[in-house]
Amino acid sequence: MKLQRKFTLEEICKIIDCNYVGEPNHFITGLNEIHMVEAGDIVFVDHPKYYEKALKSAATTIIIDKEVDCPTGKALILSKSPFDDYNKLTKYFTPYKPQTTVIGDDCEIDPSVIIYPNVFIGHRVKIGKNVTLHAGACILDDCTLDENIIVGPNSVIGHYAFYYKKKPEGFDRMHSCGGVYIESNVEIGALCTIDAGVSGLTRIGYGTKIDNQVHIGHDTQIGAHCLMASGVGIAGCVTIKNHVTLWGQVGCASNVVIEDNVVVYAQSGIGKDLLAGKTYFGSPCAEAKEKFRELVALKKLPNILDTLSNG
Protein backbone atom coordinates (compact mmCIF):
# COMPACT_ATOMS: atom_id res chain seq x y z
CA MET A 1 0.00 0.00 0.00
CA LYS A 2 1.34 3.41 -0.97
CA LEU A 3 0.78 6.28 1.43
CA GLN A 4 -0.81 9.50 0.24
CA ARG A 5 2.33 11.44 1.11
CA LYS A 6 5.80 10.83 2.47
CA PHE A 7 5.94 10.28 6.23
CA THR A 8 9.05 10.58 8.35
CA LEU A 9 10.28 7.83 10.65
CA GLU A 10 9.56 10.08 13.61
CA GLU A 11 5.94 10.64 12.49
CA ILE A 12 5.31 6.91 12.04
CA CYS A 13 6.80 6.05 15.43
CA LYS A 14 4.57 8.60 17.14
CA ILE A 15 1.50 6.89 15.66
CA ILE A 16 2.43 3.52 17.19
CA ASP A 17 4.41 4.81 20.20
CA CYS A 18 7.66 3.02 19.36
CA ASN A 19 11.34 3.89 19.53
CA TYR A 20 13.49 3.80 16.42
CA VAL A 21 17.02 3.47 15.09
CA GLY A 22 17.81 5.78 12.17
CA GLU A 23 17.44 9.36 11.07
CA PRO A 24 14.25 11.06 12.30
CA ASN A 25 13.63 12.44 8.79
CA HIS A 26 14.08 9.06 7.09
CA PHE A 27 11.20 8.86 4.59
CA ILE A 28 8.49 6.19 4.42
CA THR A 29 6.20 5.94 1.40
CA GLY A 30 4.36 2.64 1.82
CA LEU A 31 3.51 -0.49 3.81
CA ASN A 32 3.97 -3.98 2.47
CA GLU A 33 4.75 -7.60 3.19
CA ILE A 34 8.13 -9.19 2.66
CA HIS A 35 7.31 -10.81 -0.70
CA MET A 36 6.12 -7.52 -2.26
CA VAL A 37 8.21 -4.77 -0.65
CA GLU A 38 9.83 -1.90 -2.53
CA ALA A 39 12.20 0.89 -1.51
CA GLY A 40 10.35 3.27 0.81
CA ASP A 41 8.16 0.54 2.30
CA ILE A 42 7.79 -0.63 5.88
CA VAL A 43 7.87 -4.37 6.53
CA PHE A 44 7.48 -6.19 9.84
CA VAL A 45 9.33 -9.21 11.19
CA ASP A 46 8.74 -10.98 14.51
CA HIS A 47 10.75 -14.20 14.27
CA PRO A 48 14.57 -14.60 14.30
CA LYS A 49 14.27 -17.05 11.39
CA TYR A 50 13.22 -14.17 9.12
CA TYR A 51 15.33 -11.30 10.50
CA GLU A 52 18.00 -11.53 7.80
CA LYS A 53 15.45 -11.79 4.99
CA ALA A 54 13.66 -8.66 6.19
CA LEU A 55 16.85 -6.68 6.78
CA LYS A 56 18.17 -7.56 3.31
CA SER A 57 14.86 -6.97 1.52
CA ALA A 58 14.03 -3.95 -0.59
CA ALA A 59 12.13 -2.46 2.38
CA THR A 60 13.90 0.55 3.86
CA THR A 61 12.11 0.49 7.23
CA ILE A 62 11.76 -2.65 9.34
CA ILE A 63 9.48 -3.10 12.35
CA ILE A 64 11.38 -5.62 14.47
CA ASP A 65 11.18 -7.02 18.00
CA LYS A 66 14.94 -6.97 18.70
CA GLU A 67 17.57 -4.28 18.39
CA VAL A 68 20.03 -5.42 15.72
CA ASP A 69 22.61 -3.70 13.53
CA CYS A 70 20.77 -1.37 11.19
CA PRO A 71 21.73 -1.72 7.50
CA THR A 72 23.06 1.38 5.79
CA GLY A 73 20.31 3.58 4.35
CA LYS A 74 17.58 1.85 6.37
CA ALA A 75 15.79 2.39 9.66
CA LEU A 76 14.46 0.14 12.41
CA ILE A 77 11.27 0.55 14.43
CA LEU A 78 11.65 -1.28 17.74
CA SER A 79 8.42 -2.98 18.74
CA LYS A 80 7.34 -5.46 21.40
CA SER A 81 4.78 -6.82 18.94
CA PRO A 82 5.59 -6.07 15.27
CA PHE A 83 2.42 -7.77 14.02
CA ASP A 84 0.22 -5.59 16.24
CA ASP A 85 2.05 -2.37 15.40
CA TYR A 86 1.94 -3.10 11.67
CA ASN A 87 -1.80 -3.70 12.08
CA LYS A 88 -2.14 -0.37 13.90
CA LEU A 89 -0.52 1.39 10.96
CA THR A 90 -2.68 -0.27 8.32
CA LYS A 91 -5.83 0.55 10.31
CA TYR A 92 -4.61 4.12 10.81
CA PHE A 93 -4.08 4.73 7.09
CA THR A 94 -7.05 2.64 5.87
CA PRO A 95 -9.64 2.71 8.66
CA TYR A 96 -12.73 0.57 8.37
CA LYS A 97 -15.50 2.58 6.72
CA PRO A 98 -19.01 1.09 6.97
CA GLN A 99 -21.15 1.29 3.83
CA THR A 100 -24.93 1.56 3.59
CA THR A 101 -25.24 2.21 -0.15
CA VAL A 102 -24.85 -0.28 -3.00
CA ILE A 103 -22.02 1.78 -4.53
CA GLY A 104 -19.33 3.20 -2.25
CA ASP A 105 -17.44 6.47 -2.21
CA ASP A 106 -14.74 7.62 -4.64
CA CYS A 107 -15.60 5.08 -7.35
CA GLU A 108 -14.89 5.43 -11.08
CA ILE A 109 -17.36 3.36 -13.11
CA ASP A 110 -17.54 3.67 -16.89
CA PRO A 111 -21.09 4.36 -18.21
CA SER A 112 -20.91 1.22 -20.37
CA VAL A 113 -20.72 -1.11 -17.36
CA ILE A 114 -23.70 -3.49 -17.06
CA ILE A 115 -24.72 -3.88 -13.43
CA TYR A 116 -27.32 -6.56 -12.64
CA PRO A 117 -29.62 -6.36 -9.58
CA ASN A 118 -28.12 -6.95 -6.12
CA VAL A 119 -24.56 -6.09 -7.16
CA PHE A 120 -22.53 -4.43 -4.39
CA ILE A 121 -19.56 -2.13 -5.12
CA GLY A 122 -17.27 -0.93 -2.33
CA HIS A 123 -15.21 2.21 -1.84
CA ARG A 124 -12.52 3.41 -4.26
CA VAL A 125 -13.43 0.87 -6.96
CA LYS A 126 -12.45 1.49 -10.60
CA ILE A 127 -14.31 -0.31 -13.41
CA GLY A 128 -13.48 0.16 -17.11
CA LYS A 129 -15.44 -0.19 -20.33
CA ASN A 130 -17.72 -3.09 -21.27
CA VAL A 131 -17.64 -4.85 -17.90
CA THR A 132 -20.59 -7.04 -16.89
CA LEU A 133 -21.34 -7.68 -13.22
CA HIS A 134 -23.96 -10.39 -12.80
CA ALA A 135 -26.53 -10.55 -10.01
CA GLY A 136 -25.13 -10.76 -6.50
CA ALA A 137 -21.53 -10.00 -7.45
CA CYS A 138 -19.56 -8.07 -4.82
CA ILE A 139 -16.65 -5.86 -5.87
CA LEU A 140 -15.17 -4.70 -2.58
CA ASP A 141 -12.89 -1.82 -1.57
CA ASP A 142 -9.85 -0.84 -3.63
CA CYS A 143 -10.49 -3.20 -6.55
CA THR A 144 -9.75 -2.29 -10.17
CA LEU A 145 -11.36 -4.01 -13.15
CA ASP A 146 -10.02 -3.12 -16.59
CA GLU A 147 -12.06 -3.52 -19.79
CA ASN A 148 -14.21 -6.35 -21.20
CA ILE A 149 -14.50 -8.33 -17.97
CA ILE A 150 -17.32 -10.65 -16.90
CA VAL A 151 -17.94 -11.39 -13.22
CA GLY A 152 -20.42 -14.21 -12.64
CA PRO A 153 -23.32 -14.31 -10.17
CA ASN A 154 -22.49 -14.15 -6.46
CA SER A 155 -18.74 -13.94 -6.96
CA VAL A 156 -16.81 -11.89 -4.39
CA ILE A 157 -13.79 -9.87 -5.45
CA GLY A 158 -11.63 -8.25 -2.78
CA HIS A 159 -12.75 -9.88 0.47
CA TYR A 160 -10.13 -9.56 3.21
CA ALA A 161 -7.08 -11.79 3.24
CA PHE A 162 -7.05 -15.05 5.17
CA TYR A 163 -4.05 -14.06 7.29
CA TYR A 164 -4.05 -14.68 11.06
CA LYS A 165 -1.54 -14.69 13.89
CA LYS A 166 -2.09 -17.32 16.56
CA LYS A 167 -2.13 -15.86 20.07
CA PRO A 168 -2.93 -17.44 23.46
CA GLU A 169 -6.42 -15.91 23.35
CA GLY A 170 -7.10 -17.04 19.76
CA PHE A 171 -6.44 -15.94 16.18
CA ASP A 172 -5.87 -12.26 15.39
CA ARG A 173 -6.56 -11.21 11.80
CA MET A 174 -4.19 -9.02 9.82
CA HIS A 175 -6.09 -5.97 8.62
CA SER A 176 -6.23 -6.04 4.80
CA CYS A 177 -5.34 -2.74 3.18
CA GLY A 178 -4.63 -4.10 -0.30
CA GLY A 179 -6.97 -4.83 -3.20
CA VAL A 180 -7.45 -6.79 -6.42
CA TYR A 181 -6.42 -5.82 -9.94
CA ILE A 182 -8.14 -7.66 -12.81
CA GLU A 183 -6.74 -7.02 -16.28
CA SER A 184 -8.78 -6.81 -19.48
CA ASN A 185 -10.68 -9.71 -21.09
CA VAL A 186 -10.85 -11.80 -17.93
CA GLU A 187 -13.92 -13.95 -17.28
CA ILE A 188 -14.83 -15.05 -13.76
CA GLY A 189 -17.55 -17.64 -13.18
CA ALA A 190 -20.23 -17.88 -10.52
CA LEU A 191 -19.48 -18.20 -6.80
CA CYS A 192 -15.78 -17.43 -7.13
CA THR A 193 -13.75 -15.70 -4.42
CA ILE A 194 -10.66 -13.62 -5.09
CA ASP A 195 -9.16 -12.24 -1.87
CA ALA A 196 -7.58 -8.82 -1.56
CA GLY A 197 -3.87 -8.48 -0.98
CA VAL A 198 -2.88 -7.96 2.64
CA SER A 199 -1.01 -4.77 1.80
CA GLY A 200 -0.55 -5.02 -1.98
CA LEU A 201 -2.61 -6.33 -4.88
CA THR A 202 -3.88 -9.75 -5.87
CA ARG A 203 -3.65 -9.73 -9.68
CA ILE A 204 -5.43 -11.66 -12.46
CA GLY A 205 -3.70 -11.34 -15.83
CA TYR A 206 -4.99 -10.45 -19.28
CA GLY A 207 -7.38 -12.92 -20.92
CA THR A 208 -7.45 -15.42 -18.04
CA LYS A 209 -10.65 -17.51 -17.76
CA ILE A 210 -11.88 -18.77 -14.40
CA ASP A 211 -14.67 -21.33 -13.99
CA ASN A 212 -17.30 -21.47 -11.22
CA GLN A 213 -16.41 -21.94 -7.54
CA VAL A 214 -12.71 -21.12 -7.79
CA HIS A 215 -10.83 -19.56 -4.87
CA ILE A 216 -7.72 -17.38 -5.24
CA GLY A 217 -5.90 -16.32 -2.09
CA HIS A 218 -4.38 -13.01 -1.09
CA ASP A 219 -1.45 -11.52 -3.00
CA THR A 220 -1.46 -14.28 -5.62
CA GLN A 221 -0.21 -13.15 -9.03
CA ILE A 222 -1.76 -14.85 -12.07
CA GLY A 223 -0.40 -14.19 -15.56
CA ALA A 224 -2.01 -13.89 -18.98
CA HIS A 225 -4.25 -16.44 -20.72
CA CYS A 226 -4.50 -18.91 -17.85
CA LEU A 227 -7.40 -21.36 -17.52
CA MET A 228 -8.83 -22.61 -14.22
CA ALA A 229 -11.60 -25.19 -14.02
CA SER A 230 -14.24 -25.51 -11.31
CA GLY A 231 -13.12 -26.19 -7.75
CA VAL A 232 -9.55 -24.94 -8.09
CA GLY A 233 -8.17 -23.56 -4.82
CA ILE A 234 -5.10 -21.33 -4.81
CA ALA A 235 -3.53 -20.25 -1.52
CA GLY A 236 -2.03 -16.85 -0.84
CA CYS A 237 1.23 -15.54 -2.29
CA VAL A 238 1.31 -17.94 -5.26
CA THR A 239 2.86 -16.89 -8.59
CA ILE A 240 1.22 -18.41 -11.65
CA LYS A 241 2.82 -17.30 -14.90
CA ASN A 242 1.36 -17.26 -18.44
CA HIS A 243 -0.71 -19.89 -20.30
CA VAL A 244 -1.12 -22.16 -17.27
CA THR A 245 -4.03 -24.63 -17.17
CA LEU A 246 -5.34 -25.99 -13.86
CA TRP A 247 -8.11 -28.57 -14.22
CA GLY A 248 -10.91 -29.23 -11.72
CA GLN A 249 -10.23 -29.36 -7.98
CA VAL A 250 -6.53 -28.65 -8.22
CA GLY A 251 -5.20 -27.30 -4.92
CA CYS A 252 -2.06 -25.21 -4.54
CA ALA A 253 -0.12 -24.39 -1.36
CA SER A 254 1.20 -20.90 -0.63
CA ASN A 255 4.46 -19.41 -1.93
CA VAL A 256 4.59 -21.73 -4.95
CA VAL A 257 5.76 -20.59 -8.41
CA ILE A 258 4.13 -22.19 -11.45
CA GLU A 259 6.06 -21.38 -14.62
CA ASP A 260 4.72 -20.74 -18.15
CA ASN A 261 2.70 -23.31 -20.10
CA VAL A 262 2.19 -25.75 -17.23
CA VAL A 263 -0.82 -28.10 -17.25
CA VAL A 264 -2.02 -29.71 -14.01
CA TYR A 265 -4.59 -32.50 -14.25
CA ALA A 266 -7.72 -32.65 -12.07
CA GLN A 267 -7.60 -33.29 -8.31
CA SER A 268 -3.86 -32.76 -8.10
CA GLY A 269 -2.13 -31.15 -5.13
CA ILE A 270 0.68 -28.66 -5.76
CA GLY A 271 3.16 -28.23 -2.93
CA LYS A 272 6.30 -27.05 -4.70
CA ASP A 273 7.38 -25.03 -7.75
CA LEU A 274 6.45 -26.43 -11.19
CA LEU A 275 8.74 -26.16 -14.20
CA ALA A 276 7.73 -24.52 -17.48
CA GLY A 277 6.07 -26.52 -20.25
CA LYS A 278 5.44 -29.68 -18.22
CA THR A 279 2.26 -31.60 -17.38
CA TYR A 280 1.63 -32.67 -13.79
CA PHE A 281 -0.70 -35.02 -11.94
CA GLY A 282 -1.23 -36.49 -8.47
CA SER A 283 -1.02 -35.41 -4.85
CA PRO A 284 1.66 -34.43 -4.27
CA CYS A 285 1.88 -33.85 -7.99
CA ALA A 286 4.75 -34.93 -10.19
CA GLU A 287 5.23 -35.12 -13.95
CA ALA A 288 2.18 -36.91 -15.30
CA LYS A 289 4.03 -39.70 -17.16
CA GLU A 290 5.97 -40.57 -14.00
CA LYS A 291 2.82 -40.50 -11.88
CA PHE A 292 0.88 -42.73 -14.28
CA ARG A 293 3.74 -45.28 -14.21
CA GLU A 294 3.50 -45.28 -10.40
CA LEU A 295 -0.25 -45.98 -10.60
CA VAL A 296 0.30 -48.88 -12.99
CA ALA A 297 2.95 -50.29 -10.64
CA LEU A 298 0.63 -49.97 -7.63
CA LYS A 299 -2.08 -51.93 -9.45
CA LYS A 300 0.40 -54.78 -9.97
CA LEU A 301 1.51 -54.78 -6.32
CA PRO A 302 -1.20 -57.15 -4.94
CA ASN A 303 -0.32 -59.82 -7.52
CA ILE A 304 3.37 -59.41 -6.74
CA LEU A 305 2.72 -59.82 -2.99
CA ASP A 306 0.52 -62.90 -3.64
CA THR A 307 3.28 -64.45 -5.72
CA LEU A 308 5.88 -63.80 -3.01
CA SER A 309 3.65 -65.15 -0.22
CA ASN A 310 2.93 -68.33 -2.19
CA GLY A 311 6.65 -68.85 -2.57
Say if 194 falls within a structural domain.
yes
- 222 pLDDT exceeds 80? yes
**Calculated CA dihedral for residues 232, 235, 236, 238, nearest 10 degrees:** -70
Boundary of a domain, candidates 58, 93, 128: 93
Say if 311 falls within a structural domain.
no
Say if 35 falls within a structural domain.
yes
Q: CB within 8 A of 21, min separation 6: which ones? A: 67, 70, 75, 76, 78
Shared domain for 47 and 115, answered yes or no, is no
Number of domains in the chain: 2
Say if 80 falls within a structural domain.
yes
Q: How confident is the model at residue 159 (pLDDT cuts 50, 70, 90)?
A: very high
Shared domain for 122 and 186, answered yes or no, is yes
CB 261 within 8 A of CB 279: no
Shared domain for 17 and 163, answered yes or no, is no
> Residue 36: its pLDDT value, please?
86
Helix H or strand E segment including 270 = strand 269-270
> Residue 299: its pLDDT value, please?
85
Shared domain for 34 and 176, answered yes or no, is no
Spatial distance between the Cα atoms of 35 and 87, rounded to a whole number of angstroms: 17
pLDDT tens digits for range 246-271:
999 999 999 999 999 999 999 999 99
In single-letter form, the type of residue at position 181 comes to Y
Residue 55's SS3 state is helix
- 243 pLDDT exceeds 70? yes
* Range 159-168 average pLDDT: 93
Say if 308 falls within a structural domain.
no
Boundary of a domain, candidates 59, 93, 127: 93
Q: What's the CATH number where 72 sits?
A: 3.40.1390.10
Q: Is the peptide bond before 284 cis (omega within 30 degrees of 0)?
A: yes
Taking residue 181's Cβ as centre, other Cβ atoms within 10 Å add up to: 19
Shared domain for 218 and 126, answered yes or no, is yes
Which residues span the domain enclosing 10? 2-93
Window from 36-50, 186-200, 289-303 with minimum mean pLDDT: 289-303
Shared domain for 136 and 51, answered yes or no, is no
What is the residue-averaged pLDDT of the chain? 95
Q: How confident is the model at residue 210 (pLDDT cuts 50, 70, 90)?
A: very high
Q: Is 218 a catalytic residue?
A: yes
Question: What is the DSSP secondary structure assignment for residue 274, as one 8-state letter?
Answer: B
CB 196 within 8 A of CB 36: no
Q: Are strands 201-204 and 221-222 parallel, antiparallel or unpaired?
A: parallel
Spatial distance between the Cα atoms of 257 and 205, rounded to a whole number of angstroms: 15
Shared domain for 61 and 118, answered yes or no, is no
In single-letter form, the type of residue at position 297 comes to A
Taking the model in full, what pTM does it have?
Answer: 0.90
Shared domain for 159 and 191, answered yes or no, is yes
pLDDT tens digits for range 68-98:
999 999 999 999 999 999 999 999 999 988 9
Say if 98 falls within a structural domain.
no
Q: Are strands 61-64 and 41-45 parallel, antiparallel or unpaired?
A: parallel
- 233 pLDDT exceeds 80? yes
pLDDT tens digits for range 12-59:
999 999 999 999 999 999 999 888 899 999 999 999 999 999 999 999
Q: Where are the alpha helices (DSSP H) in the chain?
A: 9-16, 51-55, 82-93, 288-309
Active-site hit among 159, 218, 225, 243? 218
Of 76 and 310, more confident: 76
- 311 pLDDT exceeds 70? no
Shared domain for 62 and 198, answered yes or no, is no
Shared domain for 74 and 129, answered yes or no, is no
Say if 206 falls within a structural domain.
yes
Say if 226 falls within a structural domain.
yes
> Residue 306: its pLDDT value, please?
75
In the chain, the percentage of residues whose pLDDT exceeds 70 is 100
Q: What's the CATH number where 274 sits?
A: 2.160.10.10
Exposed e or buried b per residue across 50-85, where buried means at least 16 C-beta atoms within 10 angstroms of its C-beta: ebeebbebebbbbbbbeeeeeeeebbbbbbebbbbb
